[in-house]
Amino acid sequence: MEFSIKQSSPENQRSACVVLGVFEGGQLSPAAHIFDQASDHQLSRLIARGDMTGKADSTMMLHTLSGVTAERVLLTGLGKPEEFNAKQFLGMLRVTFAALQKTICKDAALYAIAHGMKLTKDLGNLPGNICTPTYLAEQAEKLAQAHKLKVTVLEEKDMEKLGMHSLLSVTHGSRQPAKLITLEYRGGDKKQKPVVLVGKGLTFDSGGISLKPGAEMDEMKYDMCGAASVLGTMQAIAEMSLKLNVVAVIPSSENMPDGAASRPGDIVKSMAGLTIEILNTDAEGRLILCDALTYAARFEPDTVVDIATLTGACVIALGGVASGLFSNQDQLARDLAEAGEYSNDKAWHMPLWDEYQQQLDSNFADMQNIGGRAAGSITAACFLSRFTKDYRWAHLDIAGTAWKSGKEKGATGRPVPLLTQYLINRAAK
Ligand code: BES
Ligand code: MN
Ligand code: ZN
């Protein structure tokens, strides 16, 4: 059984079965509300008659619903709205899954996480001339307003004061000002340490002075998909009112060639005080992420997960099937991999052994920003690991999974399902 998350509006869904939530008392989930309107309020009438109570663990299969394209609609009870939490949500998934297994449906569409994925896809697909760092900051502000999150946007002068010279070196060649965006969702206990999600927000990666080849360079508008997935996940968990504290940190800039751009051979000092020899200006993701990861420590995180379209090497290793997963703690890697498998948004645990670290040795600085062709996605993760020693950390390389190329070109919305599922599982514990 495949649970896919589809982008189209629910009433036009062609899946064999669409799953819709109904609360006890008759309140409809947002997706169910759309179906209700499309079907001339067939759902409301059914609920008013008492056919579907919305009690937790109850389900009801509908084989005909006028005005919608889905062949079947499975109504699933969400229980009392005021008691709905991650645990209820997981229970609902179990019951739904069991009900679907009794049918002949080969696939089903679920709308609990879908909204967040849509935001991620829409932002990813926007061209670089529209989706700039300033635009991303505005989207974060909108999200904050809609869901009462705390938002802050640091400007270049603020980053200068913090000593983020690695991050700033990436933006020197661009006319677009860089931004460091943070969003705080506090759904958990005041004292509970947050999970911090750090998303790479390169709104266009030309490679800089180490310019990329022209073919398919347009796809580097997708280099902000890590940031977009963090925003989508924040939206999803805020809509679920998840009982957990989660902070988003999004470093965002362009990488462009220009007289002011970084040169290969330049040396910069990161916020952590470590010096970096920039041997290739196209390895810019790690340069903005390292300062963002240092900054993340001020939220006193329980766990930090960064999400980045970081290396072409990861696409070679895992293709579009799985994201690369790296961590300084095996249990965290297992938890993330499990959430990915459960939500059909797979990630594969890759090694982060010390033996790889020496590929980053520099004669002139604490490290260089590239480690040669061998094990390219691992040495990129090794670079980040030098800035994440003080907390539990994982890194998802989504270069192969965040978008599709060719005829089907478009953002996938991954890894919003993995991240959201991981957070749901944590909140349920
Ligand atoms: N954004 C790219 C990674 C990328 C490349 C993602 C192709 C998806 C498809 C990243 O900034 C980059 O350019 N990485 C370089 C690193 C290299 C210079 C060590 C790469 O992978 O080629
Ligand atoms: Mn690059
Ligand atoms: Zn990049």
Q: Are 171 and 129 in a shared domain? A: yes
What sign does the dihedral 152-158-163-169 (CA atoms) show? Answer: positive
Ligand 1: nearest atom to the Cα of 369: 19
Q: Are 192 and 311 in a shared domain? A: yes
Total count of domains within the chain = 2
**6 has a pLDDT exceeding 70:** no
Each residue of 36-78: pLDDT tens digit? 877 889 999 999 999 899 999 999 998 877 777 678 889 999 8
User: Rounded to two decimals, what is the model's pTM?
Assistant: 0.86
Angle formed by the axes of helices 416-428 and 225-240, to 10°? 40
Q: Are 99 and 146 in a shared domain? A: no
- With pLDDT > 90 as the criterion, what percentage of the chain qualifies? 76
Which range of residues forms the domain containing residue 231? 115-428
The contacts of residue 200 (CB under 8 Å, 6+ apart) are 223, 224, 225, 226, 227, 251, 285, 288, 289, 306, 307, 308, 309, 310
Tell me how far the alpha carbon of residue 284 lies from the centroid of ligand 1, in angstroms. 8
From 61, 78, 110, the end of a domain falls on 110
The contacts of residue 257 (CB under 8 Å, 6+ apart) are 173, 206, 207, 208, 209, 211
From 110, 132, 155, the end of a domain falls on 110
User: Radius of gyration of the chain from Cα atoms?
Assistant: 22
The tokens of 411 are what? 């953002």
Average pLDDT over the chain, rounded to an integer: 93
Each residue of 213-272: pLDDT tens digit? 999 999 999 999 999 999 999 999 998 889 899 999 999 999 999 999 999 999 999 999
**Catalytic residue from among 212, 269, 392, 404:** 212
Query: How many whole angstroms separate alpha carbon 72 and alpha carbon 65?
Result: 8
pLDDT band at 11 (very low <50, low <70, confident <90, very high): low
* 6-27 average pLDDT score: 71
386 a catalytic residue: no
From 80, 110, 140, the end of a domain falls on 110
Q: What is the pLDDT of residue 395?
A: 99
Q: What is the pLDDT of residue 13?
A: 55
Query: How many whole angstroms separate alpha carbon 416 and alpha carbon 428?
Result: 18
Query: How many whole angstroms separate alpha carbon 429 and alpha carbon 94?
Result: 16
- Nearest CA-CA partner of 179 in 161, 204, 153: 153
Query: How many whole angstroms separate alpha carbon 170 and alpha carbon 298?
Result: 23
Q: Are 311 and 390 in a shared domain? A: yes
Q: Are 382 and 411 in a shared domain? A: yes
Each residue of 373-390: pLDDT tens digit? 999 999 999 999 999 999
The tokens of 9 are what? 């509006």
Ligand 1: nearest atom to the Cα of 376: 19
286 a catalytic residue: yes
**Catalytic residue from among 118, 179, 286, 414:** 286
Tell me how far the alpha carbon of residue 150 lies from the centroid of ligand 3, in angstroms. 28
Q: Are 91 and 128 in a shared domain? A: no
Is the separation of the CB atoms in 299 and 291 below 8 Å?
A: no
Tell me how far the alpha carbon of residue 82 lies from the centroid of ligand 1, in angstroms. 46
Q: Are 60 and 146 in a shared domain? A: no
Nearest ligand, CA 380: 1
Residue nearest to atom 8 of ligand 1 (CA): 399
Query: How many whole angstroms separate alpha carbon 205 and alpha carbon 404?
Result: 17
Q: Are 61 and 206 in a shared domain? A: no
Query: Ligand 1: which residues within 6 Å by Cβ?
Result: 205, 223, 280, 282-285, 309-313, 315, 370, 376, 399
**8 has a pLDDT exceeding 50:** no
Query: How many whole angstroms separate alpha carbon 257 and alpha carbon 255?
Result: 7
Collapsing DSSP to helix, strand or coil, 351 comes out as coil
Tell me how far the alpha carbon of residue 222 lies from the centroid of ligand 3, in angstroms. 9
Collapsing DSSP to helix, strand or coil, 199 comes out as strand
Query: Residue 37 belongs to a domain with what CATH number?
Result: 3.40.220.10
The tokens of 344 are what? 């059909």
The contacts of residue 98 (CB under 8 Å, 6+ apart) are none
The distance of Cα 2 from the centroid of its chain, to the nearest Å, equals: 21
**352 has a pLDDT exceeding 50:** yes
Q: Are 122 and 220 in a shared domain? A: yes
Query: How many whole angstroms separate alpha carbon 408 and alpha carbon 156?
Result: 37
Residues with CB under 5 A from ligand 2 (ion): 205, 282, 284
Query: Residue 171 belongs to a domain with what CATH number?
Result: 3.40.630.10
Residues with CB under 5 A from ligand 3 (ion): 202, 205, 223, 285
Q: Are 283 and 424 in a shared domain? A: yes
The tokens of 209 are what? 């002075």
**4 has a pLDDT exceeding 50:** no
Q: Choose the residue to mutate in 254, 311, 323, 396 for probing ligand 1, maximizing ligand atoms within 8 Å of C-beta.
A: 311
Neighbouring C-beta atoms of residue 150, cutoff 10 Å: 11
What letter represents residue 420's amino acid?
A: T
Each residue of 149-161: pLDDT tens digit? 999 999 999 999 9
Q: Are 120 and 88 in a shared domain? A: no
- The pairing of strands 245-255 and 275-277 is unpaired
Neighbouring C-beta atoms of residue 317, cutoff 10 Å: 19
Query: How many whole angstroms separate alpha carbon 236 and alpha carbon 409?
Result: 24
Query: How many whole angstroms separate alpha carbon 96 and alpha carbon 110?
Result: 10
Tell me how far the alpha carbon of residue 233 lies from the centroid of ligand 2, in angstroms. 24
| Cβ burial 344-378 (10 Å sphere, 16+ → b, else e) | ebbbebbebeeebbebbeeeebbbbbbbeeebbbb
Q: Are 420 and 272 in a shared domain? A: yes
The contacts of residue 233 (CB under 8 Å, 6+ apart) are 116, 197, 246, 248, 416, 419, 420, 423
